[in-house]
Amino acid sequence: MKRLWAPWRMSYIRQALDGENKGECVLCKIGKALPEKDEENLVLARGKHVFVVLNRFPYCNGHLMVTPYEHTSDLADLSDEMMVEMMRYTQRSIQTLKRTGNPDGFNVGANFGRVAGAGIETHLHYHVVPRWSGDTNFMPVLTDAKVLSQALEETWRELLEHWK
């Protein structure tokens, strides 16, 4: 069996475990961070009610999450104003990804609850995942691994340039 090493993941795993043990939500922590930390936290944009952040465990390059600042897992807790901003930032995310990566399509949506696939089930967020024809290949099937072709920091800089 071949092993794929991803040592950068361990610091994130430890941080996530520490946060869970302290009752901290990673999305709340990112949302509350000062804008000076946006590059470090991979925050692409901030609105009044929501922010857009690159997923640290992406399905593919450019995988974004549109997240309300309010900590809730229930869509019904969001005001109409928050919902409108969330959809506008989702729309803007798609437009930005079209300009940078020219994807063939998108997966957009949310996972509510662990059984639905939510990795962070206590803080709702929408995923915006660019997709390209042929972007699924033999690696996930044979090796249970995904290959990403660009560093997160490089993707963040490229998206930020096109967001503005």
* Stretch 10-17: mean pLDDT: 62
Integer Cα distance of 158 and 99 in angstroms: 10
Q: Check pLDDT > 70 for residue 157.
A: yes
Instruction: Encode pLDDT of 59-116 as tens digits.
Output: 788 999 999 999 999 999 999 999 999 999 999 999 999 999 899 999 999 988 877 7
Confidence band for 151, pLDDT divided at 50, 70 and 90: confident
Is the Cβ–Cβ distance between 95 and 68 less than 8 Å? no
Cβ-count burial 19-37 (b if 16+ within 10 Å, e if not): eeeeeeebbbebbeeeeee
Residues sharing a CB contact under 8 Å with residue 91, sequence separation 6 or more, in sequence order:
none
Active site includes 162?
Answer: no
Range in 58-62, 64-68, 133-137, 142-146 the model is least confident about: 142-146
Integer Cα distance of 153 and 50 in angstroms: 21
Q: Check pLDDT > 50 for residue 46.
A: yes
- The hierarchical CATH code for the domain 8-163 is 3.30.428.10
Taking the domains of the chain in order of start, what are their residue ranges?
8-163
Please pick, among 49, 63, 123, 125, the residue that the annotation labels catalytic: 125
* Stretch 129-155: mean pLDDT: 69
Q: Is the dihedral of CA 70, 74, 77, 83 positive or negative?
A: positive
CA atoms within 13 A on the CB side of 72: 13
Q: Which is more confident, 164 or 93?
A: 93
Q: Check pLDDT > 50 for residue 126.
A: yes
Integer Cα distance of 58 and 41 in angstroms: 14
